[in-house]
């Protein structure tokens, strides 16, 4: 009775530690979401990396491949899984993918602008003979690049 809406619980299970500043910024921007960050073994992720009590209350999971073995039993409140990867082929045989109503999203497309910028920059570097000009600059020489 009362108490307002139930809080969402975001779990970030990543192979590297998420800086506390990022977690604090997320909690400040989204005060109705509890944020938990857990560093997991990227080569052999296991459910034991994530405490059962955390999985039990998680509603949003962000990870590469740390998944509850039995989603209905281990993560009954899970509504949304976001994968760090661009694809989901590595989880397509997991019960979360094959037999649950959990929304699954990926990071596909997030690097598009950066890749386009890199491609244009690389073309400019080549066409303006940057490498040769840089070598001449290091030698304090003016000269032609050929």
The pLDDT of residue 53:
83
pLDDT tens digits, one per residue of 52-80: 888 899 999 999 888 988 899 999 999 99
pLDDT tens digits, one per residue of 8-28: 999 999 988 899 999 999 999
pLDDT level of residue 43 (50, 70, 90 thresholds): low
Burial 2-22 (b: 16+ CB within 10 A, else e): eeeeeebbbbbbbeeebeeee
Among residues 58, 59, 67, the alpha carbon closest in space to that of 85 is found at 67
Given a cut of 90, is residue 35 above it in pLDDT?
A: yes
Instruction: Tell me how far apart the alpha carbons of residues 43 and 52 are, in angstroms, rounded to a whole number.
Output: 20
């Amino acid at each position: 009775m009362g108490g307002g809406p139930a809080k969402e619980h975001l779990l970030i299970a990543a192979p590297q530690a998420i800086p506390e500043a990022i977690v604090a910024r997320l909690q400040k921007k989204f005060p109705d979401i509890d944020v938990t960050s857990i560093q997991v073994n990227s080569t052999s992720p296991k459910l034991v990396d994530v405490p059962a009590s955390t999985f039990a209350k998680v509603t949003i999971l962000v990870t590469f491949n740390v998944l509850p073995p039995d989603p209905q039993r281990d993560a009954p409140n899970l509504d949304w899984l976001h994968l760090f990867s661009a694809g989901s082929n590595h989880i397509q045989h997991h019960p979360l993918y094959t037999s649950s109503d959990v929304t699954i999203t990926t990071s596909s497309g997030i690097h598009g602008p950066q890749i386009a910028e890199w491609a244009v920059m690389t073309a400019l570097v080549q066409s303006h003979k940057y490498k040769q000009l840089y070598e001449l600059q290091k030698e304090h020489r003016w000269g032609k690049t050929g």
